[in-house]
Amino acid sequence: MSTEECTVGVVARMAGVSVRTLHHYDEIGLLEPEGRSSTGYRLYTGDDVRKLQRILFYRELDFDLETIRAILADQASTDVDRLHQQRRLLTERIARHQAMVALIDKELNARTLGITLTPHERLEVFGSFVLEENAARAEERWGGSELWQQRNLRASTYSAEDWLEVRSEQSRIHLRFLDSMNAGIPATDPIVMDVAEEHRLHLHRRFHDCDYGTHRSVAKSYLANERIGLNLDDVAPGLSRYVYDAIIANAERMMDV
């Protein structure tokens, strides 16, 4: 035995692996020690130990044994080349995992709002106008309230067709508000107050009980741009104030009746 040759037990202790692991590497031809003692025991040279270090290094990076075998056989690429490749693969994997986490968060937020549509159906119904993006803020503000529970319960039963109807109703109401504002009709005009009443009934029918006191609270959230989703001032500057004034005027009108 030369001074550079070590038995399998010595190499196992130096490398921090089991003798059984070294025997397995030998059996599959991944690391076949160059030497044998007179009694037939495996003897590892310095080159064998250095090769084992490379194997264990790649195992630490989660390469499988067949890939490591190919790496060791590839004389055209260096360990540095492999490290750059592995770094790129890990970066891509991290990006995929981050995208998956974002998708899970989005789905959890959608469920928070009671939306049970598939992602494809939500895209068809809402497009880039994604209600669930503000779910965490909405739940923090209203979560636990009876109205919030009513809203989620009703929303959880809606199909894609139902949501399309809801969105169509909302769009018609908002367009009537916008047309009235652009026409210079005061928010306190009976015509505009009638639109506010239609808006209240829409909420009452589609989402939650909405008496005039509740409608006032909704109006305040509109004015503060705390609406779930697209704020009214994003549609047209001043629209949130206009809708607020119309809702308040309508509530006062109806409560005086």
Q: Phi, psi at residue 207, to the nearest 5°?
A: -125, -60
Whether pLDDT at 112 is above 90? no
Whether pLDDT at 49 is above 60? yes
Per-residue burial over 134-143, b = 16 or more CB atoms within 10 Å of its CB, e = otherwise: bbeebbeebe
Average pLDDT over residues 3-26: 86
CB 209 within 8 A of CB 147: yes
What is the spatial distance between Cα 86 and Cα 135, in angstroms, rounded to a whole number? 38
- Identify the pLDDT of residue 202: 92
- Identify the pLDDT of residue 126: 43
- Identify the pLDDT of residue 130: 47
Whether pLDDT at 184 is above 90? yes
pTM: 0.48
Average pLDDT over residues 89-113: 67
> Confidence band (pLDDT; 50, 70, 90) for 146?
confident
Mean pLDDT, rounded, of the chain: 79
Whether pLDDT at 246 is above 90? yes
**The residue count for the chain:** 257
Question: Sign of the C-alpha dihedral, residues 91, 95, 96, 101?
Answer: positive
Whether pLDDT at 250 is above 90? yes
Compute the radius of gyration of the chain from its Cα atoms: 34
Min mean pLDDT across 71-85, 87-101, 133-147, 175-189 is at 133-147
